[in-house]
Structure 1
Amino acid sequence: YADADHAGCQDTRRSTSESAQFLGDKLVSWSSKKQKGTAISTTEVEYIAMSGCCAHMLWMRSQLTDYGFDFNKIPLYCDNRSAIALYCNNVQHSRSKHIDIRHHFIQEQVERGVVELYFVTTDYQLADIFTKA
């Protein structure tokens, strides 16, 4: 699960990325980290949060594969349809050009079938607890 709190810091207006990684139904890792730059849209904030979550999931996958675990597609849940659409449609639009290229690597993971993106409503967004608590 990946989520973000857009412009949540009252002083800098920076957003916070949060994620929760599960192995089956067990929480094995979580993260809450202030983003480095100030984002201008919720889509950008969620896009960055999903990118960080994906990188962490791929690292976990490589570690667990060494211990004999086998994975099909890794599900990644997000409550922002625009961010998911941006990942699934790699056409650059004038409204998305400002998003740093370093966050686009997740598109490759989706295209290769390593990660599969899913929309989840805010009511079922498990990563929300890290900024809404």
Structure 2
Amino acid sequence: MNPSLLTHLLKPLDGARLECDGMSSVISWGLHEQGVTHRVKSGMIHRGDVSICHVWIELFTGHVIDLRARMWLGDRLDVPHGVFRPEDYPHVTYIEHPDKERMGVMDGWLVMALSDGLAGKVRWSDLAREAKSEPRVAQ
């Protein structure tokens, strides 16, 4: 699995006027449609003295998908964006509230409406193929 490629494949969603809960729901829909094992998580994201309620996705590999951390913690290189391993961002902490229930998978028409049609520009099958592939060792 190549996190940079997955981030690139999700790029069309960057322009969606969605906060973390809506964005995570849209991405979860696409992953679910393609049979990619994942969990939508809700809780808090921390950086320094800033703590914000947040929603993100965790893949079965332990990678996180988060396109909205920078919305809350600043558009900085030390704040994650896209698909990444949390340990690569030691100054940012995700804390799940496991007692929080997340809504089920949305219908496709609602996903398209919420994302202003941008979800239709994501190559979900390519994303799924890459997400399900074996991790690659950097050379």
TM-score, length-normalised on structure 2? Answer: 0.29
Greater RCO between the two (CA within 8 Å, min separation 6)? 2
**What's the TM-score once normalised by structure 1's chain length?**
0.30
